[in-house]
Amino acid sequence: MRHVFVLGAGTIGSLIAGLLSRSGDYAVYLADHDENALKRATEDVDRQNLTTFTLEAIQGSGLRHALSDYPCEAVISALPYYCNPLVAEYARETGLHYFDLTEDVAVTRYIQDLSQGAETAFVPQCGLAPGFVNIVANDLMGHFKELDTVKLRVGALPVHPSNALKYSLTWSTDGLINEYSNFCYGLEDGREVVLMPLEGYETIEIDGLLYEAFNTSGGLGTLADTYKGRVKTLNYKTLRYPGHCEKIHFLMRDLKLNQDRETLKRILENAIPKTAQDVVLIYVSVSGKQRGELYEENYVKKIYPQTIHGKLWSAIQVTTASAVCAIVDLVLSQPEHYRGFVKQESFRLEDFLENRFGKYYR
Statement to judge: residues 184 and 237 lie in one domain: yes
* Residue percentage of the chain with pLDDT more than 90: 90
The phi and psi torsions of 21 (rounded to 5 degrees) equal -70, -35
pLDDT over 90 (residue 67): no
Average pLDDT score over the chain? 94
Residue 342: inside a domain: no
pLDDT digit string, tens, across residues 293-346: 999 999 999 999 999 988 999 999 999 999 999 999 999 999 999 999 999 999
Q: Please report the pLDDT score of residue 126 as a whole number.
A: 98
pLDDT digit string, tens, across residues 221-278: 999 999 999 999 999 999 999 999 999 999 999 999 999 999 999 999 999 999 999 9
CA distance 283 to 203: 13
Q: What is the mean pLDDT of residues 69-82?
A: 93
Count of domains forming the chain: 2
Q: Please report the pLDDT score of residue 357 as a whole number.
A: 98
Statement to judge: residues 201 and 281 lie in one domain: yes
Domain coverage including residue 241: 132-311
Statement to judge: residues 118 and 144 lie in one domain: no
Statement to judge: residues 158 and 113 lie in one domain: no
Residue 339: inside a domain: no
Statement to judge: residues 117 and 21 lie in one domain: yes
Residue 75: inside a domain: yes
277, amino acid identity: Q
Q: Please report the pLDDT score of residue 60 as a whole number.
A: 63
Statement to judge: residues 200 and 103 lie in one domain: no
Q: Please report the pLDDT score of residue 47 as a whole number.
A: 72
Statement to judge: residues 37 and 63 lie in one domain: yes
Q: Please report the pLDDT score of residue 267 as a whole number.
A: 95
Nearest to 149 by CA among 59, 284, 253: 284
Q: Contact 352/319 with Cβ under 8 angstroms?
A: no
Residue 332: inside a domain: no
Residue 359: inside a domain: no
Return the CATH number at 115.
3.40.50.720
282, amino acid identity: I
The model's pTM is 0.95
Residue 192: inside a domain: yes
Statement to judge: residues 173 and 112 lie in one domain: no
CA distance 165 to 260: 19
- The length of the chain is 362
Statement to judge: residues 87 and 218 lie in one domain: no
pLDDT digit string, tens, across residues 5-46: 999 999 999 999 999 999 999 999 999 999 999 988 887 666
Statement to judge: residues 158 and 293 lie in one domain: yes
CA distance 275 to 342: 33
Return the CATH number at 176.
3.30.360.10
Q: Please report the pLDDT score of residue 151 as a whole number.
A: 98
93 burial type by CB count under 10 A (0-12 exposed, 13-18 middle, 19+ buried): exposed
Residue 361: inside a domain: no
Q: Contact 224/192 with Cβ under 8 angstroms?
A: yes
CA distance 136 to 152: 9
CA distance 35 to 25: 26
Q: Please report the pLDDT score of residue 44 as a whole number.
A: 66
CA distance 171 to 108: 19
Domain closes at, from 102, 124, 146 = 124
Domain closes at, from 98, 124, 150 = 124
Statement to judge: residues 140 and 273 lie in one domain: yes
Statement to judge: residues 116 and 136 lie in one domain: no
Residue 323: inside a domain: no
Q: What is the mean pLDDT of residues 203-232?
A: 96
Domain closes at, from 99, 124, 149 = 124
